[in-house]
């Protein structure tokens, strides 16, 4: 999806892709991913249009360097490489991109230590959003 910024290491016929935070993050907002992101490109929405930008974390697609460090850290398993976002979460990819239109309403998320969910809570959250 991304086209403006091409990392230097990308070959001519390769397409750059970001990591995407899906709705599995909603109202969970565990910041374990924030602690490992080397470029501080994981954001929280601070504006009032919560119908458009619900309570979850967002990755800035043009700042993400595609390192993948965040993906295994999310206890809710909410983060996917863009090409691997499940179909049921396909709306979440453009939502992460949409934050680039409103960057003034976002701030870099800060890491806070949180209690990790139990495996049954993770599965329940997946079912709630239609996955699994
Ligand atoms: Fe940050 Fe790397 Fe995750 Fe992108 S893939 S959001 S740079 S930790």
Domains of the chain, residue spans? 19-123
Ranges in the chain, pLDDT < 50: 3, 7, 9
Report the separation in Å between the CA atom of 2 and the middle of ligand 1, taken as the mean of its atom positions.
Answer: 15
For ligand 1, atom 3, name the residue with the nearest CA. Answer: 70
Joined tokens for residue 105: 């309403």
pTM assigned to the model: 0.89
Ligand 1 site, CB within 6 A:
19, 36-37, 39, 41-42, 59, 64-70
Residue 36 CB neighbours (<10 A): 15
**According to the model, what pLDDT value does residue 3 have?**
47
The pLDDT tens digits for 59-94 are 999 999 999 999 999 999 999 999 999 999 999 999
Quickly list H helices, 1-132: 32-36, 92-98, 119-128
Mutate to test the pocket of ligand 1, among 20, 59, 99 (most ligand atoms within 8 A of CB): 59
CA nearest to 56, candidates 84, 34, 29: 29
**According to the model, what pLDDT value does residue 17 have?**
77
Cα angle 25, 95, 44; round to 5: 55
Residue 92, classed as helix, strand or coil, is helix
Residue 42, classed as helix, strand or coil, is strand
**CATH 3.40.50.2300, domain 19-123, yes or no:** no
Contact 74, 25 (CB under 8 A): yes
Q: Return the ligand 1 atom nearest residue 40 CA.
A: 1
Q: Return the ligand 1 atom nearest residue 37 CA.
A: 8
């Amino acid at each position: 999806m991304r086209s403006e910024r091409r990392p230097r290491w990308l070959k001519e016929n390769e397409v750059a892709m970001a990591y995407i935070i899906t709705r599995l993050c909603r109202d969970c907002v565990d910041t374990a991913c924030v602690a490992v992101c080397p470029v501080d490109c994981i954001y929280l929405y601070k504006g009032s249009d919560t119908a458009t930008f619900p309570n979850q974390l967002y990755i800035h697609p043009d700042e993400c360097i595609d390192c993948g460090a965040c993906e295994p850290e999310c206890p809710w398993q909410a983060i996917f490489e863009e090409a691997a976002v499940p179909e049921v979460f396909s709306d979440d990819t453009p939502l992460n991109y949409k934050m680039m239109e409103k960057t003034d309403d976002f701030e870099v998320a800060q890491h806070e230590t949180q209690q990790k969910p139990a495996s049954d809570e993770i599965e329940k959250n997946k079912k709630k959003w239609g996955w699994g």
